[in-house]
Structure 1
């Protein structure tokens, strides 16, 4: 509706100007100065005597310029700057300024070439969206009502604007004034055409408006230019390194002797879980949009439109729960060994595998069955915001929080034993004997400290994993609701969209407009970096010198087995000499 009205109105203005020009070309400067009525169409701008060519009546021009009133009703609310610029240009073109220097000489000042250029700057996007770019004036070929071309600024009729300084500086389109059902004829970059808009429907109500859609992923446009692309590429690189390093430990614990028994078997299973958690980056690195988006390039990827997103998301869910459960197993093992002097988990690996691999598989299956896997932000698919708390974070909290409390209890116990032993060393033998009766059987300071020396790496890794999960959980709880609100309430993106469609605006300027409705970018990067470094932490803590000695010995033994009568010597070339 708006397109057809704008087309007819602008066409009428162009036709009018053309008819006046054709008539005026034959008369050139033959004409007279006339007072302009205060109630006429251009009275807001024309406050001077106007030049009228002979045989051209003012009523004829006025009748045609009434279309500017129609244009004002269409554009005034949407773009005051465009309307003001366009009307000033058309009025100066229709009514040249007439100055009488003496009784016989008349100086005529017509439209400025700069005013024509200003129309193209202020109205180009609006006319482009309406599909009427052909009606934008061609400043190199325009001819005024007196038959001449546009004049330079130092000798033309330069009409001052009627807008305030704030209105000019603001300059944004007011999209709330656009009538319901309006469809842009052409979508300006970077927006994409909604293929269903012509049918009265929409490809995606959350990301499409006026027949144009925000391209996927929207985060690339909501934040400052290239921030999201470069920031999440950096976290992908970190996660890739984590995957490679955790794979090295997986292979080491599978191949090296004496690594497939308790408690090293706990480290092996944790390494496998962390590798699964980190290897999902292989799906997205190099081309994250194949995960983030549907084939149409507009809708976010989910289980219904992107099988790669579905597979990666399911693996990430499985790896997340497996990592937390095997970390919990490490903490429980240290607790029962240190506090109760028990090797309870030594022969319980069937139970551990059922629990630590079975629960992740079950939750992954539930998420897949509910079609809950979806891309929300960053470069990976996870559980959609609708299900992420009941299906992902609350179950993780049920694992992490008790494990954290058990960890705290273990260290309180260690501190208690250390303090007790220190006090007893300063007391008499008789008092010492009396206080030792409260100690659990078989527990001593030496036993506790030996346990800590043996398992401190596993314990520290478990703590890192727990802190990472807690931080990520708190980040989601406090920040991601903003992203959900932004998607579900299109009114919040209206100011940003107006900024993006306003001539001269940049993505960085428009990012500031919407920043209050988005999670802070630095906080997102910190959260993603923390979860991406878990494999690096694993390698730092367990890629110790003794591991490389064992590889050295294994390679030596292999060389011996293939050598001739033991010709290879162990103190020759080796894998690592540490």
Structure 2
């Protein structure tokens, strides 16, 4: 029988009235219904037809939902109460060694008190109001009891419901969508488990409409995979083409490599992202220790994210020192910058992994846990990004100021130049030279300026989305009323329509579908910006064409022309390289 029937049936039995005498003779009945899951495996004195009628008639009772909610809040409390109610309404009817005639044995008073002991701290800590059974009273109107419980402290034969429950609890059935807890009863298991049952991993999939979670993952995979390919093109271009491995072009190469690592995280999620998100037990979220693949993937993406920020900042600071301060300090100490921009990200990544602050709680990937992201990622990067933003702004203002000043001088010199055609004054010559220098600086460095603007804007947008999503996800705990209501809906609705129906009711507590998709897409924009700013340029295509032509001509020359001497070949190569460097 389904868990719904199990839970409701035990409530229906509350209306039953036990016989007046605890040792009255009875007629054994082998029908036990759903209470068999709570330990009622003995023969009872309740007629079969009466039990069935009560189960069918009580399905709409508000008390049924309250009992289900209590069991979803805490299985130990809920199951102990269910077992007590079953034993109280289904007295044992069996013969014993001293009596051949079956007699009735009702539930013990001590079992009632154990329910109070188990449930009271649970209800108090959760702030839930629930009327527990009255153990001392002769009757209990809330639960339909009309006779006093058997006081086993002064003698008497009775049924201990907690002992009956202990005999069967390890085999308690889990209804869809719940799955078996592999750690029960030795331990509680992850926070997505309650007693012998757990939500399957990834648990967030249940909270979305059917198929939505997989669609969001696909968006993340596709966007990052395309961004990875585009970044890879920039990396290969700057690594292969002549003249692009020298300062300051080598900064672009390292920046593109870092972004390529970041975007390449999509390769880790193929073909099945659940290999990253879930541990081998099928119910636990992955972390760096229960899933080595999760730890490696998180280290990969953390290294890429940190290195991208460090190299992007390095590029902006190099531009700032070159234009504003006319200094080549970063070029002179390039080895130090190389070590810092790769070494510090590696150190920060190692610290996060060693501190076991890696898990799959932030969405499609393993990343720093949401409660530690500020400490290990965004806080550290913010210390670098904020002054970098200021430096980029100062650089832009400096260029604009010099350009405006040069334009003003040029406009003042124009009448003099018109009076004396063919002559150029010293001031005009200086002005023209200054304007040309400014234009040349802007022409050479506008890509870095643009990168600073779009990269920082994208990064801030991603941070905002990350905070919104992680705050929403972290607030969804299995013990919250909203999640308990969702699970109760899943357990009481027909399995064929339960997911769609219950996810619709829960939608107001979840981030919108569009927001999740936008958050995944924004993170991948970094790779697109790298390609659009540094990969889409005529000079790059021209260099590729010349390189290909050089390779093709070289192959043909080897087939048709005798090999040149060492000196001639070297001179020819230097001439070609000189042309490419000029371009």
Question: Of residues 280, 284, 303 in structure 1, which corresponds to 2:269?
Answer: 284
- Aligned-partner Cα distance in 2 for 1:442–1:395: 45
Q: Is the 8 A contact 1:318 1:360 kept in 2?
A: yes
Q: Is the 8 A contact 1:197 1:211 kept in 2?
A: yes
Q: Is the 8 A contact 1:247 1:272 kept in 2?
A: yes
Matched, 1:188 2:188: no
- Aligned-partner Cα distance in 1 for 2:52–2:504: 38
Matched, 1:315 2:308: no
Matched, 1:466 2:456: yes
Q: Give the structure 1 partner of residue 534 of structure 2.
A: 542
Q: Is the 8 A contact 1:9 1:67 kept in 2?
A: no
> Equivalent residues in 2 for 1:354-373 (5 A)?
354-373=339-358
Q: How far did residue 397 of structure 1 move?
A: 1.0
Q: Give the structure 1 partner of residue 580 of structure 2.
A: none
Question: Of residues 250, 253, 259 in structure 2, which corresponds to 1:268?
Answer: 253
- Aligned-partner Cα distance in 2 for 1:565–1:379: 53
Q: How far did residue 531 of structure 1 move?
A: 1.1
- Aligned-partner Cα distance in 2 for 1:277–1:197: 39
Deviation by residue 1:71-121 (Cα, 9 ceiling, x = unmatched): 9899844547999xxxxxxxxxxxxxxxxxxxxxxxxxxxxxxxxxxxxxx
Q: How far did residue 297 of structure 1 move?
A: 1.3
> Equivalent residues in 2 for 1:464-543 (5 A)?
464-487=454-477, 489-504=479-494, 505-543=497-535
Q: What TM-score, normalized by structure 1, do the two folds share?
A: 0.65
More helix by share: 2
- Aligned-partner Cα distance in 1 for 2:283–2:132: 23
Deviation by residue 1:400-458 (Cα, 9 ceiling, x = unmatched): 2211111111112222223333333444799xxxxxx9xxx999443333212112223
- Aligned-partner Cα distance in 1 for 2:231–2:302: 18
- Aligned-partner Cα distance in 1 for 2:275–2:51: 53
Query: Per the alignment, do residues 9 and 337 of structure 1 end up closer, same or farther by CA in structure 2, a change over 3 Å counting?
Result: closer
Q: Give the structure 2 partner of residue 232 of structure 1.
A: 217
Unaligned regions of 5+ residues in structure 2, if any? 17-26, 28-44, 69-81, 84-127, 134-161, 416-426, 562-583
Query: Per the alignment, do residues 178 and 255 of structure 1 end up closer, same or farther by CA in structure 2, a change over 3 Å counting?
Result: farther
- Aligned-partner Cα distance in 2 for 1:425–1:222: 66
- Aligned-partner Cα distance in 2 for 1:501–1:267: 55
Q: Which moved more, 1:254-263 or 1:176-185?
A: 176-185
Q: Is the 8 A contact 1:337 1:451 kept in 2?
A: no
Q: Give the structure 1 partner of residue 545 of structure 2.
A: 552
- Aligned-partner Cα distance in 1 for 2:130–2:544: 69
- Aligned-partner Cα distance in 1 for 2:11–2:199: 30
Matched, 1:202 2:195: no
Query: Per the alignment, do residues 424 and 301 of structure 1 end up closer, same or farther by CA in structure 2, a change over 3 Å counting?
Result: same
Matched, 1:298 2:283: yes
Query: Per the alignment, do residues 188 and 61 of structure 1 end up closer, same or farther by CA in structure 2, a change over 3 Å counting?
Result: closer
Q: Which moved more, 1:282-291 or 1:551-560?
A: 551-560
Q: Give the structure 2 partner of residue 103 of structure 1.
A: none
Matched, 1:244 2:229: yes
Q: How far did residue 395 of structure 1 move?
A: 0.6
Q: How far did residue 280 of structure 1 move?
A: 1.6
Q: Is the 8 A contact 1:233 1:285 kept in 2?
A: no
Q: How far did residue 567 of structure 1 move?
A: 5.2
Q: How far did residue 61 of structure 1 move?
A: 11
Q: Which moved more, 1:256-265 or 1:413-422?
A: 413-422
- Kindly report the root-mean-square deviation, in angstroms, between the aligned alpha carbons of the 2 structures: 4.2
- Aligned-partner Cα distance in 2 for 1:458–1:465: 10
Q: Give the structure 2 partner of residue 121 of structure 1.
A: none
Q: Give the structure 2 partner of residue 561 of structure 1.
A: 554
Question: Of residues 377, 381, 387 in structure 1, which corresponds to 2:362?
Answer: 377
- The number of aligned residues is 426
Secondary structure at the counterpart of residue 486 of structure 1: coil
Q: Give the structure 2 partner of residue 348 of structure 1.
A: 333
Q: Which moved more, 1:371-380 or 1:356-365?
A: 371-380
Deviation by residue 1:151-194 (Cα, 9 ceiling, x = unmatched): xxxxxxxxxxxxxxxxxxxxxxx998999998893323232111
- Aligned-partner Cα distance in 1 for 2:487–2:503: 10
Q: Which moved more, 1:244-253 or 1:420-429?
A: 420-429
Q: How far did residue 369 of structure 1 move?
A: 1.1
Query: Per the alignment, do residues 531 and 442 of structure 1 end up closer, same or farther by CA in structure 2, a change over 3 Å counting?
Result: farther
Query: Per the alignment, do residues 500 and 176 of structure 1 end up closer, same or farther by CA in structure 2, a change over 3 Å counting?
Result: farther
Query: Per the alignment, do residues 534 and 82 of structure 1 end up closer, same or farther by CA in structure 2, a change over 3 Å counting?
Result: closer
Unaligned regions of 5+ residues in structure 1, if any? 14-18, 20-59, 84-128, 131-173, 431-436, 569-578
Q: Is the 8 A contact 1:334 1:451 kept in 2?
A: no
Deviation by residue 1:529-556 (Cα, 9 ceiling, x = unmatched): 1111322221222222222221222222
Q: Is the 8 A contact 1:256 1:554 kept in 2?
A: yes
Query: Per the alignment, do residues 236 and 175 of structure 1 end up closer, same or farther by CA in structure 2, a change over 3 Å counting?
Result: farther
Q: Is the 8 A contact 1:242 1:536 kept in 2?
A: yes
Query: Per the alignment, do residues 67 and 285 of structure 1 end up closer, same or farther by CA in structure 2, a change over 3 Å counting?
Result: closer
- Aligned-partner Cα distance in 1 for 2:66–2:380: 55
